[in-house]
Amino acid sequence: MNILDDVRQSVIDGNMEVTQKLVQKALAENVPAEQILKDGLILAMSEVGRLFESGEFFVPEMLISARAMKSGLALLQPHLAAANIQAIGKVVIGTMQGDLHDIGKNLVGMMLEGTGFEVIDLGVDVSPQKFVEAVKEHQPDLIGCSALLTTTMPRMKDVVTALKEAGLRDRVKVMIGGAPITEKYAHDIGADIYAPDAASAATRARQSLN
């Protein structure tokens, strides 16, 4: 077992303290933060999802695993976000109204920061109107919408519509993502960018500025 196997197991066990200790240990052993994230924390949550789907985990187990993962993420954040980079652009991100999943959205935020964006995070359960208000207030280059539930995906279309109605659609690009989202869905609702994961979200957001 290497340290990343232990990190994964601690997240699956939902043991926040052990996750934090192991993430710190991995950093001290010079394991790159990106690798701890990808091969430790993210893989663990995929396994948690599989256990949930197969009926071995229920919501409470998922929740404590998610907490453990977030505690590990918090330790990685300073290592992932490149220091002293002047902002190349501004992004407002949030999880769709009715949706409380924020781990993926937080990762996307970190990767965007890491690639040089200033990130304004509206949190979870964000209404289309709140996105519109944030665009008026912060004048971002992009907004990033995350949805993990098939029931909250349609709110992304509502965001695009609300931006059009407010006369702001041409001022901001819309990027969407989340487990149930596809390139086709992004195209169908008139979003500008689809990203399947946090790393490509950062790359595609950056490319969209050119």
The residues that touch ligand B1M, with contacts defined as CB under 6 A, are 42, 45, 48-49, 52-53, 59, 62-63, 66, 93, 98-105, 107-108, 144-146, 148-150, 175-180, 195, 197-198, 201
Question: Smallest gap, in angstroms, from Cβ of residue 15 to ligand B1M?
Answer: 16
Question: Smallest gap, in angstroms, from Cβ of residue 187 to ligand B1M?
Answer: 15
Closer CB to ligand B1M, residue 101 or residue 155?
101
Question: Smallest gap, in angstroms, from Cβ of residue 163 to ligand B1M?
Answer: 15
Closer CB to ligand B1M, residue 28 or residue 152?
152
Are 65 and 9 a contacting pair, CB within 8 Å? no
Pairing mode of beta strands 142-146, 193-194: unpaired
Closer CB to ligand B1M, residue 31 or residue 48?
48
Closer CB to ligand B1M, residue 52 or residue 185?
52
Q: Give the number of other CB atoms < 10 A from CB of residue 123.
A: 13
Closer CB to ligand B1M, residue 29 or residue 151?
151
Closer CB to ligand B1M, residue 21 or residue 38?
38
Question: Smallest gap, in angstroms, from Cβ of residue 203 to ligand B1M?
Answer: 11
Question: Smallest gap, in angstroms, from Cβ of residue 76 to ligand B1M?
Answer: 12
Radius of gyration of the chain from its Cα atoms, rounded to whole angstroms = 17
Question: Smallest gap, in angstroms, from Cβ of residue 59 to ligand B1M?
Answer: 5
